[in-house]
Amino acid sequence: MRLSERFADNSVIINSQSSTKEQILNELVDTLCASYKLDHRDEIFDAVWKREQTRSTGIGYGLAVPHAKIDYVDRMCMVAATVEKGIDFDAMDNEPVHLLILIVSPGNTVGPHLKALSSVSRVLSNAEVRKDLIDAKTQADFVEIFGHAEDKYL
């Protein structure tokens, strides 16, 4: 399955107004649970937050890829958010984050989770793609841009 096909309905937040790392992660987890009809919201947030506390997933260039492996999900789930004003995410380059992709996978998987992280990083390594995603006005535009980038870079 292509990564762009993993975005469920209403799984992309366009121009979030969250202003802190904790707020945006809560918003992403809420969106994840609503989009994929998942229970255990607090446990999912706790796993994502705990992972974030060990080492920031802000990888630089305005991008963060928070992720966790969780026993409460039965398939890989992805949600995204754009944040025009940016959020301090303790990124490696100390720059604000404007684009986030949250990936949650079943606790018993290794390969697919790592492959998804690698693929997202590869697709979003292009500055023009990141800018186009941040500038997307609708979820449909976001997923279309992501899909075209996936065709080009994967």
pLDDT, tens digit (0-9, with 9 covering 90-100), for 62-115: 999 999 999 889 999 999 999 999 999 999 999 999 999 999 999 998 899 999
Do 121 and 99 contact (CB within 8 A), yes or no?
no
Residue 88: per-residue pLDDT: 97
Q: Is the pTM of this model over 0.75?
A: yes
Band of residue 16 on the pLDDT scale cut at 50, 70, 90: very high
Set out the domains of the chain in order of their start, with CATH numbers: 3-153 (3.40.930.10)
The rounded distance, in Å, linking the Cα atoms of 65 and 40 is 21
Write out the catalytic residue numbers: 67
Classified as helix, coil or strand, 128 is helix
Residue 69: per-residue pLDDT: 94
Residue 110: per-residue pLDDT: 84
The rounded distance, in Å, linking the Cα atoms of 66 and 133 is 17
